[in-house]
């Protein structure tokens, strides 16, 4: 399973990329707004992210009609070869995704929650499908169970093009563990979750004792 970083924060992306484990970045309007992002600077911000990470960078469309989504997608895709156009799961989004697919532009279909949505996303030409885990959990549903169904259903078929499933709305390392066991292609994680994924108290305790014992060796 590949790790994407789910953020629009440049410092976080630089830090995570420096670890050598990040294969891409996903952003959304909320994440950009959280960084105090300005409309006029959005395209430059996406280009900056593309300069930092050598992999797909999802930039989301914010219109609702197929022609507008398509036009936005073409504009976003022109920013950098690694830009993937993020399109919401809805009828106009499917139509726009098909139009973008026909132009060779990759789409990440976002806000996907169910198997029928995921199958339609794949059928429309989406290169990536993003089932949300945490937001399902938020409404007392089982996000991992839904992700499992999406992985199984999508992998049952050949859509005639590559489709990768991105486990999204990941809230903690247990989501990462379960997404990996289910065979999700990618987990897109906030920086806080990535940091938690590498931490373990036994690792800390073990390192502490190794270093303490090495002090004894040095002083021998
Ligand atoms: O980027 C889409 C998704 O990962 C958002 O997650 O935590 O806002 O539900 P969250």
* Cross-strand bridge partners of residue 167: 187
Taking the centre of ligand 1 as the mean of its atom positions, its distance from the CA of residue 25, in whole angstroms, is: 12
Specify whether the CB–CB gap between 16 and 10 falls below 8 A: no
Identify the burial level of 124 via C-beta atoms within 10 angstroms of its C-beta, where 0-12 means exposed, 13-18 middle and 19 or more buried.
Answer: buried
- Which pLDDT does position 50 carry in this prediction? 98
Residue 80's pLDDT band, with cuts at 50, 70 and 90, is very high
Q: What is the mean pLDDT of residues 37-48?
A: 98
CA distance 181 to 36: 36
Q: What is the pLDDT of residues 184-195, one digit of tens each?
A: 999 999 999 999
- Which pLDDT does position 163 carry in this prediction? 98
CA-nearest of 153, 78, 83, 74 to 112 is 153
Name every protein residue with a CB atom under 6 angstroms from any ligand 1 atom.
Answer: 6, 26, 28, 132, 134-135, 168-169, 188
- Which pLDDT does position 27 carry in this prediction? 98
Taking the centre of ligand 1 as the mean of its atom positions, its distance from the CA of residue 168, in whole angstroms, is: 6
CA distance 126 to 185: 14
Q: What is the pLDDT of residues 48-62, one digit of tens each?
A: 999 999 999 999 999
Specify whether the CB–CB gap between 125 and 161 falls below 8 A: yes
Residue 34's pLDDT band, with cuts at 50, 70 and 90, is very high
Using CA positions, which residue lies closest to atom 3 of ligand 1?
Answer: 169
Give the rounded percent of residues in the chain with a pLDDT score beyond 70. Answer: 100
Q: What is the pLDDT of residues 112-158, one digit of tens each?
A: 999 999 999 999 999 999 999 999 999 999 999 999 999 999 999 99
Ligand 1 atom nearest to CA at 171: 7
Domains and CATH numbers, the chain: 2-218 (3.20.20.70)
Taking the centre of ligand 1 as the mean of its atom positions, its distance from the CA of residue 190, in whole angstroms, is: 8
The 3-state secondary structure of 72-133, one letter per residue: HHHHHHCCCCCEEEEEECCHHHHHHHHHHHHCCCCEEEEEECCHHHHHHHHHHCCCEEEEEC
Residue 209's pLDDT band, with cuts at 50, 70 and 90, is very high
Start-to-end CA span in the chain (Å)? 45
- Which pLDDT does position 181 carry in this prediction? 98
Residue 83's pLDDT band, with cuts at 50, 70 and 90, is very high
Question: Torsion angle of alpha carbons 79, 84, 86, 91, nearest 10°?
Answer: 110
Specify whether the CB–CB gap between 24 and 2 falls below 8 A: yes
- Which pLDDT does position 18 carry in this prediction? 98
Ligand 1 atom nearest to CA at 58: 1
Taking the centre of ligand 1 as the mean of its atom positions, its distance from the CA of residue 7, in whole angstroms, is: 9
- Beta strands 22-26; 107-112: pairing state: unpaired
Pocket residue to mutate for ligand 1, from 5, 6, 191, most atoms within 8 A of Cβ: 6
- Which pLDDT does position 89 carry in this prediction? 98
CA-nearest of 168, 110, 160 to 144 is 168
- Which pLDDT does position 56 carry in this prediction? 98
Q: Which residues are catalytic?
A: 86
CA-nearest of 41, 73, 39 to 59 is 73
Ligand 1 atom nearest to CA at 130: 2
């Amino acid at each position: 399973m590949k790790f994407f970083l789910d953020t629009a924060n440049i410092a976080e992306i630089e830090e995570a990329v420096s670890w050598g484990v990040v294969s891409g970045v996903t952003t959304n309007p909320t994440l950009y707004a959280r960084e105090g992002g300005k409309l006029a600077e959005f395209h430059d911000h996406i280009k900056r992210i593309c300069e930092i990470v050598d992999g797909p960078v999802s930039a989301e469309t914010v219109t609702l009609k197929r022609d507008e989504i398509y036009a936005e997608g073409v504009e976003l895709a022109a920013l950098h070869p690694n830009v993937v156009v993020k399109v919401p799961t809805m009828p106009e989004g499917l139509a726009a995704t098909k139009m973008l697919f026909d132009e060779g532009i990759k789409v990440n279909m976002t806000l996907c929650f169910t198997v029928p949505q995921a199958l339609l996303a794949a059928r429309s030409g989406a290169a990536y499908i993003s089932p949300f885990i945490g937001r399902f959990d938020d409404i007392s549903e089982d996000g991992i169970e839904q992700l499992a169904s999406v992985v199984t259903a999508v992998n049952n078929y050949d859509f005639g093009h590559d489709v990768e499933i991105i486990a999204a709305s990941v809230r903690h390392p247990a989501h990462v563990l379960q997404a990996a066991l289910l065979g999700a292609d990618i987990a897109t994680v906030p920086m806080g979750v990535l940091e938690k994924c590498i931490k373990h108290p036994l690792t800390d305790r073990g390192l502490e004792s190794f270093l303490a014992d090495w002090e004894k060796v040095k002083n021998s």
